[in-house]
Homo-oligomer: A and B are copies of this chain.
Amino acid sequence: MQENKKLAVLTEPTLAEAAVLIEKAFAQRRTLIVAGNCHVHYVGRARSTLEPGERLLIIKSDGSLLVHRPVGYEPVNWQPAGSIFHVQIKEDGLEVYGVRQKPRESVRVTFAGIYMVSSLNLSDSGDFLLHASEEEMHRAILLKPELLEEGFKPISWEKKVEPGFVDIYGEDKNGKFVIVEVKRKTASKEAALQLAKYVEPIKAKVNREVRAVLVAPSLGKDVQRMLVTLGLEYKALDPKVCAEVLKKSENSKLESFFNDKS
């Protein structure tokens, strides 16, 4: 087999044949896919056992591991990047063992039978861009403060104030202090409480009137009422609208603005 080929596949291999390819994949830091009948043991922060069944094992070049059942978005077992792997033929089958430190934890995947092994040399430097995140909402409001309200002047953002971080603060057209909590989806009770807990400490600090505004695309069931109780305000704002705002504005303006973070 050519060492540097992009792809090596074995179908219905013996366990011994599979072990050779797997070993080689580890040594060459290739992406490994194994399909077969296996059971799994995990010991670490918690402990788990997975009885025999047919699954996919994926091990990437950065030392991350995934065991996927034939259903479900999430891996049933995994190991984050930075694990070290070994493969070995044992009495009950081919064992792939992965261990990492900090925290110390290990996964042992034992295959009784293997349907396919695939070793791939993948190269990927493509950019990934995500839009309509909460951070984009922050940026959009800072860039166009009227998204919050006419006359709003941002002063700072992501500011530590005890007992946590305020998303954005500034002052309104009447010079009142305004603190803003931003959520990219329906605001929950939690969000309202999170905002409320900043009001008193900040009022004490700046020694003037403080308005608190919850910004989110919508409000949860009981949150409307809670806002009234807590003396908070609400401004509807959709993350996608924010993404559009940023898209329209040229980057240069944004960059200069952000370099001035106070």
Contact = CB atoms under 8 A, between A and B. Distances in A.
B239 A35 contact: no
Interface string A129-162: 1111100000000000000000000000000000
B11 A9 contact: yes
A128 B122 CA distance: 32
A64 B73 contact: yes
A35 B115 contact: no
* Most interface-central of A35, A52, A69, A122 (chain B CB within 10 A): A122
Interface in A204-262: 239-240, 243
Nearest to A54: B122
Interface in A56-104: 56, 58, 60-62, 64, 66, 68-73, 76, 78-81
A45 interface: yes
A72 B64 contact: yes
Contacts of A76: 128
A173 interface: no
Contacts of A7: 11-12, 35, 115-116
Nearest to A44: B132
A243 B6 CA distance: 45
A116 B9 contact: yes
A51 B130 contact: no
A50 interface: yes
A125 interface: yes
A56 to B, nearest CB: 7
Contacts of A31: 35, 56, 70
B62 A72 contact: yes
Contacts of A130: 46-48
A195 B73 CA distance: 33
Nearest to A75: B73
Nearest to A136: B46
5 closest A-B pairs by CB: A53-B124, A51-B126, A53-B126, A70-B122, A54-B122
18 contacts: A9-B9, A33-B56, A39-B126, A45-B132, A45-B185, A46-B130, A46-B133, A47-B130, A47-B131, A49-B128, A54-B120, A54-B124, A58-B68, A61-B71, A62-B71, A69-B124, A73-B78, A73-B80
